Amino acid sequence: MNKRKFVMRFLVVLALASLLMIPIAAVAEEVPELPVKGMVTMLDLGAKYCIPCKMMIPVMEKVEKKYKGRAAILFIDVWQHRDQAKRFGIKAIPTQIFFDKDGKEVYRHVGFMSEAQIDQQFRKMGLE
């Protein structure tokens, strides 16, 4: 292979790799102040395009409705907000972190978490 073909292939591969690293969302969401002051908080850290994280979406929607006004249910896309992954010490996604009303972390789970498991954790934290 001559040098010119090699360089062209390298540039194509580099361009494709760069495209894959760009978040698809045009506007990055703003990260709220965490944990929410004076409220039990469940934080789900994942990515919109990760398969187990996608499986969490309907669970999070149900939990958010169920605990509305009693608990803050939040999601952060760590591919868009890499600083938050570092801040919370995320090693794998999805990761769910539960905070009490005082903002103290009380439980951490890695992987898919069912609605029943979330309910159970909230009960342990005194939330019915």
CB 74 within 8 A of CB 106: no
Q: Residue 2 above 90 pLDDT?
A: no
- Give every strand in the sheet of 95-99, ordered side by side: 71-77, 40-46, 95-99, 105-110
CB 72 within 8 A of CB 79: no
For 35-70, how does the pLDDT look when each residue is reduced to its tens digit (9 = 90+)?
A: 998 999 999 999 988 999 999 999 999 999 999 999
Q: Among 76, 70, 79, 85, which Cα is nearest to 118's?
A: 70
Q: What is the pTM of this model?
A: 0.75
For 9-34, how does the pLDDT look when each residue is reduced to its tens digit (9 = 90+)?
A: 543 433 333 333 333 232 335 666 88
The DSSP output letter for 8 is: H
Count CA atoms within 13 Å of residue 117 on its CB side: 15
For 56-109, how does the pLDDT look when each residue is reduced to its tens digit (9 = 90+)?
A: 999 999 999 999 999 999 999 999 999 999 999 999 999 999 999 999 999 999
Kindly list the structural domains of the chain, giving each domain's residue range(s) and its CATH number in brackets, ordered by start. Answer: 40-124 (3.40.30.10)
Cross-strand pairs, 75? 44
Which residues belong to the active site? 50, 53
